[in-house]
Structure 1
Amino acid sequence: MKIPVGSGPVRLSLVESEDEESVRTVVRTLLADRCASDDVAAASDGRHGLSAPLWRSLAVDLGLAGLLVPEEAGGAGAGAREAGTVLEELGSAVAPVPFLTSAVIATSALVHLMSAESADQHAVRDTLAAAASGGSVLTLLLPWSTDPSGPVFTVREEPDGLRGEATPVAGADAGTFLVPALGADGAGLWLVDRAAVQVTPAVALDMTRPLATVRLDGAPARLVVRGPAAEEAVRTGLLTGAGVLASEQVGLAQWCLAETVSYLTVRRQFGRVVGGFQAIKHRLADLHIAVEGARAAARYAAATLADEPDDAPVAVAVAASVCGEVAVRAAEECVQLHGGIGMTWEHPAHLRLKRAVADQVALGTPVRHRARLGGLVGIVPDGECR
């Protein structure tokens, strides 16, 4: 069953539309059936091949691989709001799938080029169509810590092909890499097949989102676009990614809060339910307020990306500044308030803590986004806020 997507414009609101609610329900149902915490833990340890079949269900059966791809290119024609809804659910389940790296970041960069006259439209549309069908997984070849205003050229264009490396790269098991590179003729954006690169796995805290070093030694490539449009497309992908990553962090934080509340309402200590102690109530109330504030920031970022792109840089910087820290706090509270069981590998809290900490440095740290925000709103020059 394909997810339903409306055809009309979405009002800039923090309230979920009927389409978003439908998307959430469908994704949540599938994850509940095929992405249990035990399976995620086994997959992160290499004991369970969860990623490929789960991604096939999400990408093909639900059509999520083409969620942001326009209908004329074979996709669903949805926007960042729907992508944010999907990532809330994927973050809650810590699903080991390349939705963020492929269906959001790389896809957004290519969709941006559909309106660029200088781009090879055949390459753009063919690549988007393959990704939307679930037949190809894409990755933007940049270090996973790159923020929307950071340096985006780590690869050089040489006479014999592309040379250089990026590390650590998330989603490096992709079939096609979207590679920004600098050459004698200026900046360019290239398509490179996996067979033409060297991929070396890297140690990752969160094994549900593996990292790798990707090296190109004279790799053959197909030019997509050259000139300023290349960098604009890359930064569009990174901005969209950072904006909806906040939704993933909110989903993770909400799971931690709900799981902790559920546990503390049945766990007894000193003859009383632990959740009845006033100090515990205060901690949970404070965490609830923080999670709801983060949710508002994340939804506003997704809404501006979809409908008010001029406001998106500020909204994304705010969301990225807040949501990463809230997710880590929620995961830490989840581990601590579960007591001894929360410290074990048998309880899924550690999966959320690892993802939360790893997400906090993905696509720019909160400190870096606050520095960028200061420059965007004119408080301090960009980069001086620490």
Structure 2
Amino acid sequence: MDFSLTDEQNELVKTLHAVLERHAGSAAVRLGAESELGYDKELWRRLAEEIGVASLAIPEEYGGAGCSWIETGLTLEVLGYHLAPSPLLASGVLATAALLEAGDADAKERLLPGIAEGSSIATLAWATQQGQWETTRSDITATYHEQWMLNGTATLVLDGQYADTVLAVASTPAGIGLFDVLDTQSIGRVNTPAMDTTLSFATLNFENVAARPLLLDATETLERIRDIALVARACLQAGTARRGLDMTVEYSTQRVQFGRQIGSFQALKHRMADMLVQVETARTAAWAAAWSAGTGASDLPERAASAAAWCSDALEHIASECVQLHGGIAITWEHDAQLLFKRAHATAQLFGQARSHRQRLGTLLGIGAA
């Protein structure tokens, strides 16, 4: 397989970097994260309307660009590099994947066009009260009395505080299902502060909330949705890892100690070389998984688990090295190294920890727990 980018993909990456360099500098990222929505609304409008980032994985018949999860992964890598908060992971990945994989034609026709143009922010209420994204059970229950009603709680819902379209994973008497929430105004929403201030989470409480089923036997579908989410997270982490390396190398050419730039010391060169290896292997793992997701390859579960474990570990290592090699300045609120460090540890928990993905990979490969 060839992971080299096409001319169109290279242009997408180049354009995204140019826009984010102008509109997502350090001060803008912090202002966006501290805003009411948790992201810069004007920047999201620009990314969605002018570049079409939310539409990349959506077929053209539903108002999308008709690309694939590969292009979405490249976009998340660039967003990860600039540490820019956005609802793309919730709306353009989780909710979009749920709608596409559920296959409900009516729901796709109603909801995907708004998601594609960025005017509608969608999310998927999934995680249990223990913070687990399970594919066989949910803390939300769905019962049918003239219509389907949802009761229960979902935690760690990305952009759940302000999403106008809410999909939910719910347990039914027959198993696990996917639902389109019809009355989003009746959902109880509680903001959940996150370690990474560029990520927005909420706890959603359902009490007799009307819903429409998208798929009632959703276990296998949820497995694929989770794999797509893991691929997206890996791409985001790969971009953030590259940012950590670039920040560290740049600082090593500026900081002078004992009359020399610290980057000239052999021991620090070795550490930054190790960081480069982590960055490049993380990107390779993320791109391979994105290729499998984008092409519908049968090895997606293995590649998603591999990328999820490797990219989490790589970013945590790079974030730690970034802080150490910057010295005391890196732990100050004013320096972006603390944003990178928090991103590393927050995303390492999102959709499951690295050790659980290594165990799953071992099972998939038939070699037992890793």
| TM-score, length-scaled by structure 2 | 0.93
| Conservation of the 8 A alpha-carbon contact between 1:124 and 1:224 | no
What percentage of aligned pairs have identical amino acids? 36
| Alignment match of 1:352 (pick from 324, 340, 360) | 340
* Corresponding position of 2:310: 322
* Corresponding position of 2:42: 53
Matched, 1:138 2:115: no
| Alignment match of 1:256 (pick from 241, 244, 264) | 244
Q: Which moved more, 1:45-54 or 1:268-277?
A: 45-54
Cα shift at 1:45:
3.9
| Distance 1:63-1:48 versus aligned 2 partners, 3 A rule | closer
* Corresponding position of 2:158: 170
* Corresponding position of 1:215: 205
SS of the residue corresponding to residue 120 of structure 2 reads coil
| Alignment match of 1:100 (pick from 89, 92, 99) | 89
In the comparison of the two structures, how many residue pairs are matched? 363
SS of the residue corresponding to residue 299 of structure 2 reads helix
For 1:179-224, what per-residue CA distance to the aligned partner results, in whole angstroms no more than 9, with x for missing partners?
1222235443211143121110112101111211110000112222
| Conservation of the 8 A alpha-carbon contact between 2:136 and 2:176 | no
Alignment of 1:1-386 (within 5 A): 12-46=1-35, 50-114=39-103, 119=104, 121-143=105-127, 146-147=132-133, 150-158=135-143, 159=145, 161-172=149-160, 173-184=162-173, 186-192=175-181, 193-226=183-216, 228=217, 230-380=218-368, 385=369
Structure 1 unaligned runs (5+)? 1-11
Cα shift at 1:345:
1.1
Cα shift at 1:225:
2.7
CA distance in 2, matches of 1:224, 1:150: 15
| Conservation of the 8 A alpha-carbon contact between 1:24 and 1:86 | yes
| Conservation of the 8 A alpha-carbon contact between 1:188 and 1:223 | yes
| Distance 1:315-1:353 versus aligned 2 partners, 3 A rule | same
Cα shift at 1:319:
0.6
| Conservation of the 8 A alpha-carbon contact between 1:206 and 1:355 | yes
CA distance in 2, matches of 1:36, 1:349: 14
* Corresponding position of 1:7: none
Cα shift at 1:242:
0.3
For 1:7-64, what per-residue CA distance to the aligned partner results, in whole angstroms no more than 9, with x for missing partners?
xxxxx42222222111101111111111111121233344997522222111222111
Aligned-partner residue type, residue 71 of structure 2:
E
| TM-score, length-scaled by structure 1 | 0.89
CA distance in 1, matches of 2:77, 2:222: 24
* Corresponding position of 1:4: none
CA distance in 1, matches of 2:254, 2:210: 60
| Conservation of the 8 A alpha-carbon contact between 1:28 and 1:89 | yes
| Conservation of the 8 A alpha-carbon contact between 2:56 and 2:69 | no
Cα shift at 1:300:
0.5
Aligned-partner residue type, residue 170 of structure 1:
L
